[in-house]
Amino acid sequence: MVKKWWLALLLPILVLTACDEIADAYDEYDEDDEAYYDDEAAYDEENFDAEFYDAAEAPATGSDECPFDEPDDYDLTCGYLSVPENRAVSGSRQIQIAYVIVHADDGDEQPPVVYLAGGPGGSAIDDFVANPEGWEYPFTEERDLVLVDQRGTGYSWPTLDCPELSEDVEFSDENPEVVCHDRLVDEGIDLAAYNSAENAADIAALRVELGYDSWDLL
């Protein structure tokens, strides 16, 4: 009991000490310090392969051609849904949300299951393509499995991939994240629109477009 009493007193002290250390670290941070941030970031053009970084062309909405080698023995429907990049901006350009439907074996009218990859930034479609047998659960016998690459990821367009971070490419700049950010902005991508609220709206729009009354999120 005595030991527990001392622990109860010691814990708040440790927490306060940790908070003070974090506060001191923030006080030491200077956004003008090049060690933290460099808004004049520039890549070494000699090591830059322009073709490697070119943005992919937007796929056609409703395309039924799968953008990967289809595994055998699976009934798949592939497509793209066109949605506004930023629903809060009038006249916002359209982007494409890639999806794949793995049709149920018995075709019963059960609510489908929709899978979104984590990360953030993972590709739900690639998760399936890499190991389709790993998705053979009892529920897939009677429910469609809908794989969706969330905006900015996987086979959706545009993609927010940052090949600038690859170890295979050498940059003279120490802040490849800034290089990637600036490139995406130069391509006309509204980075503020790639958020959870827009993702949720995309998924709701896709459910309506595919004609499902409801579905379950995996």
Q: Which residue has the higher pLDDT, 45 or 154?
A: 154
pTM of model > 0.75: no
Q: What's the rounded Cα separation, in Å, for the pair 76 and 188? A: 33
Mean per-residue pLDDT of the chain? 76
Ramachandran angles phi, psi of 161, nearest 5°: -60, 150
CA distances from 104 to 64, 91, 111 (A): 18, 38, 11
pLDDT of residue 48: 34
* pLDDT classification of 189: cutoffs 50, 70, 90: very high
Q: Which residue has the higher pLDDT, 87 or 108?
A: 87
Question: What's the burial of 14, exposed, middle or buried (CB within 10 Å: 0-12/13-18/19+)?
Answer: exposed
Which range is most confident: 36-40, 48-52, 86-90, 119-123?
Answer: 86-90
88 has a pLDDT exceeding 70: yes
The pLDDT tens digits of the residues spanning 60-71 come to 666 567 989 888
Q: What's the rounded Cα separation, in Å, for the pair 126 and 107? A: 24
* pLDDT classification of 47: cutoffs 50, 70, 90: very low
What is the pLDDT averaged over residues 118-128? 90
201 has a pLDDT exceeding 90: yes
Q: Which residue has the higher pLDDT, 2 or 170?
A: 170
